Structure 1
Protein backbone atom coordinates (compact mmCIF):
# COMPACT_ATOMS: atom_id res chain seq x y z
CA UNK A 1 0.00 0.00 0.00
CA UNK A 2 1.36 3.41 -0.97
CA UNK A 3 2.29 5.90 1.72
CA UNK A 4 -0.30 8.59 2.35
CA UNK A 5 1.34 11.96 1.74
CA UNK A 6 0.05 15.33 2.93
CA UNK A 7 1.58 18.54 1.58
CA UNK A 8 0.27 21.34 3.74
CA UNK A 9 0.54 25.11 3.60
CA UNK A 10 -0.43 27.03 6.72
CA UNK A 11 -0.70 30.73 7.49
CA UNK A 12 -2.85 33.81 7.07
CA UNK A 13 -2.81 35.41 3.62
CA UNK A 14 -4.13 38.69 5.06
CA UNK A 15 -0.97 39.30 7.11
CA UNK A 16 1.69 39.88 4.45
CA UNK A 17 4.47 37.24 4.67
CA UNK A 18 2.36 35.14 7.05
CA UNK A 19 0.71 33.83 3.90
CA UNK A 20 3.89 32.23 2.56
CA UNK A 21 2.82 28.65 3.27
CA UNK A 22 -0.60 29.03 1.69
CA UNK A 23 0.77 30.81 -1.37
CA UNK A 24 3.36 28.06 -1.82
CA UNK A 25 0.87 25.18 -1.92
CA UNK A 26 -1.35 27.32 -4.14
CA UNK A 27 1.44 27.58 -6.71
CA UNK A 28 2.50 23.96 -6.24
CA UNK A 29 -1.00 22.69 -6.99
CA UNK A 30 -1.39 25.04 -9.94
CA UNK A 31 1.72 23.75 -11.69
CA UNK A 32 2.14 20.13 -10.50
CA UNK A 33 0.00 17.00 -10.28
CA UNK A 34 0.49 13.96 -8.02
CA UNK A 35 -0.73 10.40 -7.65
CA UNK A 36 -3.94 9.77 -5.68
CA UNK A 37 -2.03 9.03 -2.47
CA UNK A 38 -0.81 12.64 -2.29
CA UNK A 39 -2.98 15.45 -0.94
CA UNK A 40 -2.06 19.11 -1.40
CA UNK A 41 -3.95 21.23 1.13
CA UNK A 42 -4.40 24.87 2.04
CA UNK A 43 -4.50 24.61 5.83
CA UNK A 44 -4.88 28.34 6.36
CA UNK A 45 -5.28 29.10 10.06
CA UNK A 46 -7.35 26.03 10.93
CA UNK A 47 -4.88 24.93 13.59
CA UNK A 48 -6.27 22.09 15.69
CA UNK A 49 -8.84 21.18 13.02
CA UNK A 50 -6.02 19.89 10.84
CA UNK A 51 -5.40 17.02 13.25
CA UNK A 52 -7.63 14.57 11.38
CA UNK A 53 -5.60 15.06 8.19
CA UNK A 54 -2.19 14.93 9.86
CA UNK A 55 -3.10 11.69 11.65
CA UNK A 56 -3.79 10.00 8.31
CA UNK A 57 -0.45 10.98 6.79
CA UNK A 58 2.59 8.73 6.66
CA UNK A 59 4.63 11.54 5.14
CA UNK A 60 3.99 15.20 5.94
CA UNK A 61 5.43 18.33 4.33
CA UNK A 62 4.59 21.71 5.86
CA UNK A 63 5.23 25.12 4.31
CA UNK A 64 5.11 28.07 6.70
CA UNK A 65 6.60 31.43 7.64
CA UNK A 66 8.78 30.83 10.70
CA UNK A 67 10.88 33.21 12.78
CA UNK A 68 14.31 31.58 12.79
CA UNK A 69 16.04 34.92 13.57
CA UNK A 70 17.64 34.70 10.14
CA UNK A 71 17.88 37.22 7.33
CA UNK A 72 14.47 38.20 5.93
CA UNK A 73 13.52 35.84 3.14
CA UNK A 74 16.01 33.13 4.11
CA UNK A 75 14.73 29.57 3.76
CA UNK A 76 15.40 26.75 6.21
CA UNK A 77 14.49 23.05 6.12
CA UNK A 78 13.77 21.16 9.34
CA UNK A 79 13.11 17.43 9.55
CA UNK A 80 11.60 14.91 11.94
CA UNK A 81 11.50 15.51 15.68
CA UNK A 82 13.02 18.97 15.32
CA UNK A 83 9.92 20.35 13.60
CA UNK A 84 7.75 20.85 16.73
CA UNK A 85 10.70 22.48 18.49
CA UNK A 86 11.17 25.07 15.76
CA UNK A 87 7.46 25.79 15.46
CA UNK A 88 7.29 26.44 19.19
CA UNK A 89 10.36 28.63 19.73
CA UNK A 90 9.07 31.94 18.42
CA UNK A 91 5.40 31.81 17.63
CA UNK A 92 4.31 34.62 15.35
CA UNK A 93 0.62 33.84 15.20
CA UNK A 94 -2.12 31.71 16.69
CA UNK A 95 -2.03 29.14 13.89
CA UNK A 96 1.47 28.02 14.90
CA UNK A 97 0.35 27.29 18.45
CA UNK A 98 -2.54 25.31 17.02
CA UNK A 99 -0.38 23.31 14.64
CA UNK A 100 2.11 22.45 17.34
CA UNK A 101 -0.83 21.02 19.27
CA UNK A 102 -1.87 19.07 16.17
CA UNK A 103 1.51 17.34 16.15
CA UNK A 104 1.25 16.65 19.89
CA UNK A 105 -2.19 15.08 19.46
CA UNK A 106 -0.99 12.90 16.60
CA UNK A 107 1.93 11.78 18.76
CA UNK A 108 -0.28 10.95 21.75
CA UNK A 109 -2.62 8.93 19.55
CA UNK A 110 0.38 7.14 18.04
CA UNK A 111 -0.60 8.43 14.60
CA UNK A 112 2.39 10.68 14.10
CA UNK A 113 3.73 10.86 10.53
CA UNK A 114 6.68 8.58 9.91
CA UNK A 115 8.49 11.35 8.04
CA UNK A 116 8.07 15.08 8.49
CA UNK A 117 9.58 18.09 6.73
CA UNK A 118 9.07 21.77 7.54
CA UNK A 119 10.00 24.22 4.79
CA UNK A 120 10.06 27.62 6.44
CA UNK A 121 10.99 31.11 5.34
CA UNK A 122 12.01 34.02 7.54
CA UNK A 123 9.33 36.72 7.05
CA UNK A 124 10.05 40.35 6.30
CA UNK A 125 6.87 41.75 7.81
CA UNK A 126 3.70 40.39 9.39
CA UNK A 127 1.99 43.61 10.41
CA UNK A 128 0.94 44.80 6.97
CA UNK A 129 -2.67 43.79 7.53
CA UNK A 130 -4.24 43.30 4.12
CA UNK A 131 -0.81 43.28 2.52
CA UNK A 132 0.74 40.56 0.40
CA UNK A 133 4.05 38.75 0.23
CA UNK A 134 7.15 40.91 0.04
CA UNK A 135 9.18 40.27 -3.09
CA UNK A 136 12.07 38.66 -1.21
CA UNK A 137 9.61 36.22 0.38
CA UNK A 138 7.79 35.58 -2.89
CA UNK A 139 11.11 34.67 -4.53
CA UNK A 140 11.44 31.72 -2.14
CA UNK A 141 8.25 30.02 -3.29
CA UNK A 142 9.84 28.17 -6.22
CA UNK A 143 12.98 27.15 -4.24
CA UNK A 144 10.72 25.93 -1.42
CA UNK A 145 8.70 23.82 -3.85
CA UNK A 146 11.86 22.43 -5.45
CA UNK A 147 13.31 21.52 -2.04
CA UNK A 148 10.14 19.72 -0.98
CA UNK A 149 9.83 17.79 -4.24
CA UNK A 150 13.45 16.69 -4.04
CA UNK A 151 12.94 15.51 -0.44
CA UNK A 152 9.84 13.53 -1.44
CA UNK A 153 11.69 11.67 -4.18
CA UNK A 154 13.48 9.51 -1.60
CA UNK A 155 10.06 8.01 -0.79
CA UNK A 156 9.29 7.42 -4.46
CA UNK A 157 6.85 10.34 -4.46
CA UNK A 158 7.09 12.24 -7.72
CA UNK A 159 5.33 15.30 -9.08
CA UNK A 160 4.32 15.71 -12.72
CA UNK A 161 4.57 19.17 -14.22
CA UNK A 162 1.23 20.17 -15.70
CA UNK A 163 1.36 20.94 -19.42
CA UNK A 164 -0.99 23.82 -18.74
CA UNK A 165 -1.24 25.44 -15.28
CA UNK A 166 -4.68 25.24 -13.68
CA UNK A 167 -6.94 28.12 -14.58
CA UNK A 168 -8.42 30.49 -12.01
CA UNK A 169 -11.58 28.44 -11.49
CA UNK A 170 -9.64 25.32 -10.49
CA UNK A 171 -7.12 26.80 -8.07
CA UNK A 172 -6.68 25.25 -4.65
CA UNK A 173 -8.67 27.85 -2.72
CA UNK A 174 -10.72 29.23 -5.59
CA UNK A 175 -10.22 32.31 -7.68
CA UNK A 176 -11.43 34.79 -5.08
CA UNK A 177 -8.34 34.53 -2.88
CA UNK A 178 -5.65 33.56 -5.37
CA UNK A 179 -2.69 35.89 -5.12
CA UNK A 180 -3.30 37.75 -8.40
CA UNK A 181 -6.95 38.40 -7.62
CA UNK A 182 -6.10 39.40 -4.06
CA UNK A 183 -3.41 41.87 -5.04
CA UNK A 184 -5.33 43.41 -7.93
CA UNK A 185 -8.56 44.01 -6.05
CA UNK A 186 -7.54 44.91 -2.51
CA UNK A 187 -7.69 48.63 -1.61
CA UNK A 188 -4.41 50.51 -1.52
CA UNK A 189 -2.72 51.38 1.76
CA UNK A 190 -3.85 54.97 1.20
CA UNK A 191 -7.48 53.94 0.76
CA UNK A 192 -7.48 51.56 3.73
CA UNK A 193 -4.61 51.86 6.19
CA UNK A 194 -3.06 48.49 6.94
CA UNK A 195 -1.03 49.50 10.00
CA UNK A 196 -3.66 51.47 11.92
CA UNK A 197 -5.39 54.69 10.91
CA UNK A 198 -3.77 57.74 12.53
CA UNK A 199 -7.00 59.65 12.13
CA UNK A 200 -8.48 57.26 14.67
CA UNK A 201 -5.48 56.36 16.79
CA UNK A 202 -4.43 59.99 17.32
CA UNK A 203 -7.94 61.33 17.84
CA UNK A 204 -8.81 62.68 21.28
CA UNK A 205 -12.23 61.13 20.80
CA UNK A 206 -10.73 57.65 20.57
CA UNK A 207 -10.47 56.29 24.11
CA UNK A 208 -10.49 52.87 25.67
CA UNK A 209 -11.73 52.44 29.20
CA UNK A 210 -11.82 49.14 31.00
CA UNK A 211 -15.02 48.85 32.97
CA UNK A 212 -15.39 45.40 34.51
CA UNK A 213 -18.93 44.19 34.84
CA UNK A 214 -19.99 44.18 38.51
CA UNK A 215 -20.26 40.65 39.87
CA UNK A 216 -23.52 39.72 41.51
CA UNK A 217 -23.00 36.92 44.08
CA UNK A 218 -26.37 35.46 43.09
CA UNK A 219 -25.06 34.92 39.56
CA UNK A 220 -22.14 32.76 40.73
CA UNK A 221 -22.56 29.07 39.98
CA UNK A 222 -20.75 26.69 42.31
CA UNK A 223 -19.46 23.23 41.51
CA UNK A 224 -18.58 20.53 44.03
CA UNK A 225 -15.30 19.63 42.37
CA UNK A 226 -13.79 17.56 45.17
CA UNK A 227 -16.93 15.91 46.53
CA UNK A 228 -16.53 17.55 49.95
CA UNK A 229 -19.54 19.79 49.66
CA UNK A 230 -17.37 22.87 50.01
CA UNK A 231 -18.25 24.37 46.65
Structure 2
Protein backbone atom coordinates (compact mmCIF):
# COMPACT_ATOMS: atom_id res chain seq x y z
CA UNK A 1 0.00 0.00 0.00
CA UNK A 2 1.43 3.38 -1.06
CA UNK A 3 1.70 6.07 1.59
CA UNK A 4 1.69 9.61 0.24
CA UNK A 5 4.87 11.57 0.74
CA UNK A 6 3.82 14.99 2.08
CA UNK A 7 6.08 18.04 2.12
CA UNK A 8 5.21 21.17 4.11
CA UNK A 9 7.41 24.03 2.94
CA UNK A 10 7.88 27.56 4.21
CA UNK A 11 9.14 30.01 1.61
CA UNK A 12 10.67 33.43 2.18
CA UNK A 13 13.42 35.43 3.84
CA UNK A 14 13.48 35.99 7.60
CA UNK A 15 15.59 39.13 7.14
CA UNK A 16 12.91 41.17 5.37
CA UNK A 17 10.00 41.60 7.76
CA UNK A 18 6.81 39.95 6.40
CA UNK A 19 8.85 38.03 3.83
CA UNK A 20 9.58 35.67 6.72
CA UNK A 21 5.95 34.59 7.16
CA UNK A 22 6.30 31.28 5.32
CA UNK A 23 9.35 30.17 7.23
CA UNK A 24 7.88 31.25 10.59
CA UNK A 25 4.70 29.27 9.86
CA UNK A 26 6.71 26.16 8.98
CA UNK A 27 8.82 26.55 12.14
CA UNK A 28 5.75 26.78 14.36
CA UNK A 29 4.05 23.79 12.75
CA UNK A 30 7.19 21.70 13.22
CA UNK A 31 7.62 22.81 16.84
CA UNK A 32 4.00 22.08 17.70
CA UNK A 33 3.34 18.68 16.10
CA UNK A 34 5.06 15.33 15.97
CA UNK A 35 4.47 14.24 12.39
CA UNK A 36 4.67 10.74 10.91
CA UNK A 37 7.65 9.65 8.81
CA UNK A 38 5.94 10.36 5.50
CA UNK A 39 5.52 14.07 6.35
CA UNK A 40 8.50 16.42 6.17
CA UNK A 41 8.64 20.10 7.11
CA UNK A 42 11.15 22.13 5.09
CA UNK A 43 12.52 25.65 5.44
CA UNK A 44 12.62 26.42 1.73
CA UNK A 45 13.98 29.92 2.27
CA UNK A 46 14.85 31.51 -1.05
CA UNK A 47 16.61 28.50 -2.54
CA UNK A 48 14.74 28.40 -5.86
CA UNK A 49 15.69 25.48 -8.07
CA UNK A 50 17.49 23.73 -5.22
CA UNK A 51 14.00 22.91 -3.94
CA UNK A 52 13.13 20.87 -7.03
CA UNK A 53 14.02 17.48 -5.45
CA UNK A 54 11.61 18.15 -2.57
CA UNK A 55 8.80 19.07 -4.94
CA UNK A 56 9.42 16.07 -7.19
CA UNK A 57 9.46 13.74 -4.18
CA UNK A 58 6.12 15.03 -2.89
CA UNK A 59 2.77 13.44 -3.62
CA UNK A 60 1.16 16.32 -1.76
CA UNK A 61 2.65 19.74 -1.07
CA UNK A 62 1.64 22.50 1.36
CA UNK A 63 3.29 25.91 0.89
CA UNK A 64 3.37 28.82 3.33
CA UNK A 65 4.36 32.16 1.79
CA UNK A 66 3.87 35.92 1.81
CA UNK A 67 2.38 36.89 -1.53
CA UNK A 68 1.24 40.16 -3.05
CA UNK A 69 -2.34 39.29 -3.95
CA UNK A 70 -3.17 42.99 -4.19
CA UNK A 71 -5.49 42.61 -1.19
CA UNK A 72 -5.84 44.24 2.21
CA UNK A 73 -2.56 43.79 4.15
CA UNK A 74 -2.77 40.78 6.44
CA UNK A 75 -5.35 38.97 4.30
CA UNK A 76 -4.93 35.20 4.38
CA UNK A 77 -5.79 33.24 1.23
CA UNK A 78 -5.68 29.59 0.19
CA UNK A 79 -5.09 28.49 -3.39
CA UNK A 80 -4.97 24.96 -4.71
CA UNK A 81 -3.41 23.01 -7.55
CA UNK A 82 -3.54 24.89 -10.89
CA UNK A 83 -4.14 28.23 -9.18
CA UNK A 84 -0.86 28.01 -7.24
CA UNK A 85 1.65 28.56 -10.07
CA UNK A 86 -0.59 31.32 -11.42
CA UNK A 87 -0.39 33.23 -8.15
CA UNK A 88 3.32 32.69 -7.73
CA UNK A 89 3.93 34.30 -11.12
CA UNK A 90 1.20 36.97 -11.12
CA UNK A 91 3.03 39.53 -8.97
CA UNK A 92 6.63 38.68 -8.31
CA UNK A 93 7.34 40.30 -5.00
CA UNK A 94 10.78 38.78 -4.55
CA UNK A 95 13.33 36.59 -6.26
CA UNK A 96 12.25 33.48 -4.36
CA UNK A 97 8.82 33.57 -6.01
CA UNK A 98 10.37 33.74 -9.45
CA UNK A 99 12.53 30.78 -8.51
CA UNK A 100 9.76 28.72 -7.00
CA UNK A 101 7.34 29.25 -9.87
CA UNK A 102 10.14 27.88 -12.08
CA UNK A 103 10.51 24.90 -9.74
CA UNK A 104 6.83 24.03 -10.19
CA UNK A 105 7.03 24.55 -13.96
CA UNK A 106 10.07 22.28 -14.21
CA UNK A 107 8.51 19.59 -12.05
CA UNK A 108 5.42 19.75 -14.25
CA UNK A 109 7.53 19.53 -17.41
CA UNK A 110 9.23 16.42 -16.05
CA UNK A 111 5.88 14.87 -15.10
CA UNK A 112 6.69 15.06 -11.38
CA UNK A 113 4.31 17.72 -10.13
CA UNK A 114 2.63 16.75 -6.81
CA UNK A 115 -0.93 15.48 -7.19
CA UNK A 116 -2.09 18.08 -4.66
CA UNK A 117 -0.63 21.52 -4.00
CA UNK A 118 -2.01 23.89 -1.37
CA UNK A 119 -0.70 27.44 -1.03
CA UNK A 120 -1.47 29.25 2.25
CA UNK A 121 -0.46 32.83 1.62
CA UNK A 122 -0.66 36.15 3.42
CA UNK A 123 -0.72 39.66 1.98
CA UNK A 124 2.36 41.39 3.46
CA UNK A 125 2.30 44.76 5.17
CA UNK A 126 6.01 45.58 5.22
CA UNK A 127 8.92 44.21 3.22
CA UNK A 128 11.45 47.05 3.25
CA UNK A 129 12.55 46.59 6.85
CA UNK A 130 15.89 44.82 6.78
CA UNK A 131 16.35 42.73 9.89
CA UNK A 132 12.72 43.28 10.85
CA UNK A 133 10.31 40.67 12.13
CA UNK A 134 6.71 40.09 11.15
CA UNK A 135 4.34 43.04 11.40
CA UNK A 136 1.44 42.62 13.81
CA UNK A 137 -1.26 42.06 11.12
CA UNK A 138 0.83 39.31 9.52
CA UNK A 139 1.91 37.78 12.82
CA UNK A 140 -1.79 37.54 13.73
CA UNK A 141 -2.32 35.31 10.69
CA UNK A 142 0.17 32.65 11.81
CA UNK A 143 -2.38 30.79 13.96
CA UNK A 144 -5.11 30.79 11.28
CA UNK A 145 -2.52 29.64 8.72
CA UNK A 146 -1.49 26.76 10.97
CA UNK A 147 -5.13 25.82 11.50
CA UNK A 148 -5.65 25.66 7.73
CA UNK A 149 -2.59 23.45 7.32
CA UNK A 150 -3.67 21.15 10.15
CA UNK A 151 -7.16 20.83 8.66
CA UNK A 152 -5.63 19.93 5.31
CA UNK A 153 -3.34 17.32 6.86
CA UNK A 154 -6.29 15.80 8.73
CA UNK A 155 -8.27 15.70 5.50
CA UNK A 156 -5.39 13.73 3.99
CA UNK A 157 -5.52 11.32 6.92
CA UNK A 158 -2.32 12.45 8.63
CA UNK A 159 -2.25 11.68 12.38
CA UNK A 160 -1.09 14.65 14.46
CA UNK A 161 0.30 14.46 17.98
CA UNK A 162 1.81 17.17 20.19
CA UNK A 163 5.59 17.44 19.89
CA UNK A 164 7.18 16.69 23.25
CA UNK A 165 10.90 16.49 22.37
CA UNK A 166 11.44 20.25 22.06
CA UNK A 167 13.03 19.92 18.63
CA UNK A 168 12.91 22.91 16.30
CA UNK A 169 13.11 23.26 12.54
CA UNK A 170 15.88 25.89 12.57
CA UNK A 171 18.78 26.77 14.84
CA UNK A 172 17.87 28.37 18.16
CA UNK A 173 19.55 31.63 17.09
CA UNK A 174 16.73 32.12 14.56
CA UNK A 175 13.96 31.79 17.15
CA UNK A 176 11.52 34.63 16.47
CA UNK A 177 11.55 36.04 20.01
CA UNK A 178 15.35 35.92 20.20
CA UNK A 179 15.61 37.40 16.72
CA UNK A 180 13.45 40.33 17.79
CA UNK A 181 15.10 40.82 21.18
CA UNK A 182 18.60 40.93 19.72
CA UNK A 183 17.81 43.22 16.80
CA UNK A 184 20.04 46.34 16.72
CA UNK A 185 18.38 49.72 16.96
CA UNK A 186 17.62 51.73 13.82
CA UNK A 187 20.39 54.14 14.83
CA UNK A 188 22.91 51.29 14.95
CA UNK A 189 21.85 49.39 11.84
CA UNK A 190 20.19 50.88 8.77
CA UNK A 191 16.79 49.27 8.19
CA UNK A 192 16.50 49.89 4.43
CA UNK A 193 20.05 49.23 3.22
CA UNK A 194 23.46 50.87 3.30
CA UNK A 195 23.36 54.63 2.80
CA UNK A 196 26.63 54.44 0.88
CA UNK A 197 24.89 52.62 -1.96
CA UNK A 198 21.52 54.35 -1.67
CA UNK A 199 22.91 57.71 -2.81
CA UNK A 200 22.64 59.34 0.60
CA UNK A 201 25.22 61.96 1.55
* TM-score category of the 2 structures, normalised to the smaller one: over 0.9
For residue 173 of structure 2, what is the aligned residue in structure 1? 176
Which residue in the other structure is 1:139 paired with?
140
Task: Give the structure 2 partner of residue 193 of structure 1.
Answer: 190
Alignment of 1:46-195 (within 5 A): 46-162=47-163, 164=164, 166=166, 170-195=167-192
- Of 143-152 and 16-25, the range deviating more from structure 2: 143-152
TM-score by length of 1: 0.82
Q: Report the structure number with the largest CA radius of gyration.
A: 1
Higher RCO structure (Cα 8 Å, ≥6 apart) = 2
Distance 2:176 2:132 in 1: 11
Runs of 4 or more, structure 1, over 6 Å off, are none
Whole-Å Cα distance in 1 between the matches of residues 77 and 159 of structure 2?
A: 22
Sort the Cα spacing of 1:165 and 1:25 in 2 relative to 1 into closer, same or farther, 3 A. Answer: farther
Determine if the alignment matches structure 1 residue 39 to structure 2 residue 36. Answer: no
Counterpart Cα distance in 2 of 1:190 and 1:95: 29
Aligned-pair Cα RMSD in Å: 1.5
- Give the whole-Å Cα distance in 1 for the aligned partners of 2:139 and 2:95: 22
Unaligned runs of 5+ in 2: none
Structure-2 residue corresponding to 1:202:
200
Segments of structure 1 that go 5 or more residues without pairing to the other structure are 204-231
